[in-house]
Chain A
Amino acid sequence: MLNKSKNITILCLLLFGFFIIVLRLVTLQFLQHNYYLACANRQSQYITKKEILRGSVFDRTGSVLALSIKTYSCAVRPALVEDAEQTIKVIVKCLHMPEKEVREKICSTRPFIWIKRKLDPEEVELLTPYVFSKETKLAGLDLVKENKRFYPNNNLAWHVLGKVGEDNQGLSGIERSLDTLLNGQPVEEIKTRDRLGRDIIDKVNTVTHNDSMPKNLYLTINKRIQYIVERELEITLSKHPAKQGVVIVQKPDTGEILALACRPTYTDEEWRETPKYLNNPAISEAYEPGSVFKAFTLSAGLEERVVSLSEKIFCENGAYKVFGRIITDHDRQGMLTVPQVMQYSSNIGTAKIALRLGKEKLYQYICAFGFASPTGINLPAESRGMLNSPRQWSLDSLPTICFGQEIGVTTLQLADAYSAIANGGYLMEPQIVKEVRDETGKVIWQFSPVRVRRVISEEVIRSVHDVLESVIDKGTGIKAKVVGYRTAGKTGTAQKIDKVTGKYSDTKHIATFCGFLPLPNPAVTIVIALDEIEGDDYWGGSVAAPLFSRIGQGIMEELSIIPKKEEVPVKELKYVKVN
């Protein structure tokens, strides 16, 4: 009996104890749940930005033009450094930096200082034991994770690709114009860590939306054509030094830019010191195009039937006074047919066609060819060019605008307008981005050609093709001939306005050449502009035209376009060493 009562007492005590525990648990788990959960989260959870690599950029064939990889930056907290001499020695050895610079940084009074940003993987490997290993760790030295942008082809398509800043923000080129797509939106992660600071993965709560992830860009650029263009441009500039050189290669039927090269390019130190170097002169600098503009006046004249190809125009023996201004030609010419006006690049002949057209019509055609408005290409800082409305034109504006004076155009506008002549009369919207893909490779946006408008009828275009072909066969553009292919084009040598005197300079010129090949269905339009060529040989026909020929030859081979049999060249190309 006694045993039984003892048992009951013990049982009651046990149950009471158990009840107390359960009661406490209920209090903690249910009644004070939110409070303790918040306390626990404060201790163990933290919000961090997800490390996302910037999207890559490829050319139209899928070859990498720009990509990011994760790397480290070396930093130091000078106050925490214990063995300064050893730290300096290690940094100098691993990062190959001047000792003086490292010493200055380590002896700095600032709490945190970067030693070198975005190290190469080899440098990281050398430095890792001094930062992460317990035995050899140097106090105060740190490696901070960062992304580094690589351009594996060095300066290839330098102005198109652009540059990114230290914090991966696009500064110029496609890196800037499509920065949002390449960078994505910052994604925040809520992570849980244990008492040792290690992440516990089962409680990771990431807020990720697919739309915010970085995208990869496939450009319309063809890496090999881009290389041919840059190589030939450099060869020309080494023979004829100039302030600047720009070449654009465009597919006339779609408006895709196959190559866009500008020289000079700059080192990282140079463009950081002078950010204006990052501008793309092909789209952001407008200049007076000179005689290459005559093709548009001719097209307008033929379209409006104010002139015919068989007609002869008197070119006033080289000097023509109109509205008080004397227009001159390079050579004295008398009666010239319309094709000859183009072949000899007669300013007077072109002015007479323009006078028949009238200023309203000429203005209308200039605008229809896409001048005086941005082309809409996906690159930053595009200039719309410069053209006053006809009401603001002076009396002599009409006969000068028609041959490329008193109007400012960009090289891209010229290329696009010549493409309109090349493709049968349609102005196309120039494109630089072919595809946008997500991180899995799925295409989320694809380029499709955009026809802006028809500018010239097909019948007139055929006549213009013949005239421009004759410029290369018999006229000023003879050095632009691409042997084996029917080629059309126009030379131009424009005087620049002297900023001091406000008058046309006798020493500063822009040599241009615009053309397309092979006829009758051109595959490429090539536009060349060489600014301020040094020396006496600064003509479009003698400097820009041979460059056009070499680029055209290279592109035809690259695109495997078969030359006409009877025109297969017999003269060998001279071997040129590339430095």
Chain B
Amino acid sequence: MRRRKKGIEIELKFPRTVLGKSIYMVAGVLLFFVLYVWQQIEVVQVGHHINDIRERIQYWHNQNQYLQVKINENSAPQIIEKKAKLVLGMIYPAPRNIKMFSLKGTVENY
């Protein structure tokens, strides 16, 4: 197939002429660079996205840690004892009311 345009006859049928080959080659190289740059931009964008997610994870991790602190504060023996006495009205049992017995096979771990 031949096409005439502004006095230049271009061989469009691949790969009939050297010019055609060159144009395809340059186009191929350019396309490669375009794809490479596009890929790099994508990678950077994904990187930013990952960074955002990491920051969010960090935020929630911090929140989790802070809740751990709160859990530990509320499960501290002095807090439990205070609440048991003042809120629930519990009293310390008399030693004779504490019955202790050993279970066979239990491991002493203190």
On A, residues with C-beta under 8 Å from B are 3, 6-7, 10-11, 14-15, 18, 60, 63-64, 67, 69-71, 121, 150, 152-154, 156, 194, 198-202, 222-225, 227, 231, 258, 483-484, 553, 557-563, 568-570, 572-573, 575-578
Task: Give the docked Cα–Cα distance between A573 and B75 (Å).
Answer: 25
In the A-B complex, the 6 residue pairs with the smallest Cβ-Cβ separation, listed nearest first, are A152-B72, A227-B77, A572-B94, A201-B47, A69-B65, A153-B76
Dominant secondary structure at the B interface: helix
Taking the nearest CB of chain A, how far is it from the CB of B21, in angstroms? Answer: 10
Between-chain CB contacts (< 8 Å), 21 pairs: A6-B8, A10-B8, A11-B22, A18-B26, A63-B75, A70-B62, A153-B73, A153-B78, A154-B76, A156-B76, A198-B51, A201-B48, A202-B47, A231-B78, A483-B95, A558-B110, A562-B101, A562-B102, A570-B96, A575-B92, A578-B82
Given A202-B43, A559-B110, A560-B102: 4 more A-B contacts, CB < 8 Å: A3-B8, A70-B65, A201-B48, A559-B108
Instruction: Give every chain A residue within 8 A of B48 (Cβ-Cβ).
Output: 198, 200-201
A573 touches B68 (CB 8 A): no
Of A69, A484, A568, the most chain B CB neighbours within 10 A belong to A69
Bound Cα distance A198, B81 (Å): 50
**B18 contacts the other chain (Cβ, under 8 Å)?**
yes
| Whole-angstrom distance between the Cβ of A578 and the nearest chain B Cβ | 7
Complex CA distance for A563 and B78, rounded to whole angstroms:
26
Taking a contact as CB atoms under 8 Å apart, the answer to whether B19 and A152 are in contact is: no
Question: What 0/1 readout, one digit per residue, does chain B (46-87) give for beta carbons within 8 Å of chain A?
Answer: 011011001000100011011011001101111001100100
B98 touches A557 (CB 8 A): yes
Looking at B44, B47, B48, B110, which has the most chain A CB atoms within 10 Å of its CB? B110
The interface residues of chain B lying within 8 Å CB-to-CB of A573 are 92, 94-95
A69/B110 contact (C-beta < 8 A), A18-B26, A198-B51, A573-B92 known: no
B44 partner residues in chain A, CB cutoff 8 A: 194, 200, 202
Known interface pairs A202-B47, A568-B96. Does A69 touch B91 (Cβ–Cβ under 8 Å)? no
Q: Do B95 and A3 touch across chains, with their CB atoms under 8 A apart?
A: no
* Contact status of A152 and B81, CB under 8 A, knowing A484-B95, A568-B95, A572-B96: no
CA separation between A578 and B86, bound complex, in Å?
10
Minimum CB–CB distance for B96 against chain A, Å: 6
Is B68 a contact of A67 with CB atoms below 8 Å? Answer: yes
Which of B51, B69, B77, B85 is in CB contact (< 8 Å) with A199? B51
| Distance of A194 Cα from B18 Cα, bound (Å) | 42
Q: Which of B19, B75, B78, B95 has the most CB of A within 10 A?
A: B95
Given A7-B17, A14-B22, A223-B77, decide whether A121 and B66 contact each other with a Cβ distance below 8 A. yes
